[in-house]
Chain A
């Protein structure tokens, strides 16, 4: 079945550590996105990529990094520079302009 897979579903990180969230899609979509979700704030865009080897910062990119070496994969690294990383992270993909996004099941990151 086609879809988007995020792993792990739950992730715990110690302060000062970097951690990488995985996002893989087999929908053959060109565009991929990372959103952060906090209660009452909706979905805020972290990074997005419209094509392999290219990505742009979203509204809250500070403390995060991404790569897009393959069409299927768009991993997100939460660095130690992100001061408040505890949140629910959602990955999405789209075929192109004006189309709907398909979402993964999310990763809940908790700093301990």
Chain B
């Protein structure tokens, strides 16, 4: 079975500081991994995705993530936080298997302090 674990349900950073949101996955087959962002009372928007083409993935709004198979991790980073980055972030995993389910982590709420 596949799963994702997001360490830290709440993360607070200062504006201009590095953002690091952690995601570890469990999968018995090569995974496809995703990061989504959610603003209050809205749906989820895709930030970036890993589909085995490259281990360092660049996404929208200056975010990037690195796939590390040896650590089963896919952490999300941004060099300099902006106030508009305050939102909830979800990591998700799926496989190429027949069930085709997309499994989400419990989310990390990012606060950006001025």
Query: Are A96 and B100 interface neighbours, CB within 8 A?
Result: yes
Task: Please tell me if B102 contacts chain A, counting CB pairs below 8 Å.
Answer: yes
Whole-angstrom distance between the alpha carbons of A92 and B104 in the complex? Answer: 13
**B residues less than 8 Å from A66 (CB atoms):** none
Whole-angstrom distance between the alpha carbons of A101 and B33 in the complex? Answer: 11
Query: Are B9 and A40 interface neighbours, CB within 8 A?
Result: yes
**B residues less than 8 Å from A112 (CB atoms):** none
Query: Are A103 and B43 interface neighbours, CB within 8 A?
Result: yes
Query: Are A41 and B106 interface neighbours, CB within 8 A?
Result: yes
Query: Are B106 and A106 interface neighbours, CB within 8 A?
Result: no
B interface footprint on A61-101 (CB within 8 Å = 1, 0 otherwise): 00000000000000000000000000010101010111111
Query: Are B96 and A106 interface neighbours, CB within 8 A?
Result: no
Of chain A, the residue at the smallest CB distance from B105 is: A42
Task: Please tell me if A19 contacts chain B, counting CB pairs below 8 Å.
Answer: no
Nearest CB of B to A51, in Å = 10
Partner of A42, one of B42, B51, B90: B90
Interface of B is mostly: loop
Query: Are A101 and B102 interface neighbours, CB within 8 A?
Result: yes
Q: For B9, B43, B99, which residue has the most chain A Cβ atoms within 10 angstroms?
A: B43
Query: Are A98 and B51 interface neighbours, CB within 8 A?
Result: yes
Whole-angstrom distance between the alpha carbons of A35 and B49 in the complex? Answer: 20
Task: Please tell me if A21 contacts chain B, counting CB pairs below 8 Å.
Answer: no
**B residues less than 8 Å from A109 (CB atoms):** none
Nearest CB of A to B91, in Å = 9
Of chain A, the residue at the smallest CB distance from B36 is: A103
Q: Which of B72-114 contact A (CB under 8 A)?
A: 90, 92, 94-97, 99-107
Query: Are B107 and A48 interface neighbours, CB within 8 A?
Result: no
Task: Please tell me if A43 contacts chain B, counting CB pairs below 8 Å.
Answer: yes
**B residues less than 8 Å from A102 (CB atoms):** 46
10 other A-B residue contacts (CB within 8 Å) besides A90-B44, A106-B41:
A33-B102, A41-B106, A50-B100, A58-B101, A97-B97, A98-B96, A100-B34, A101-B46, A101-B102, A108-B41
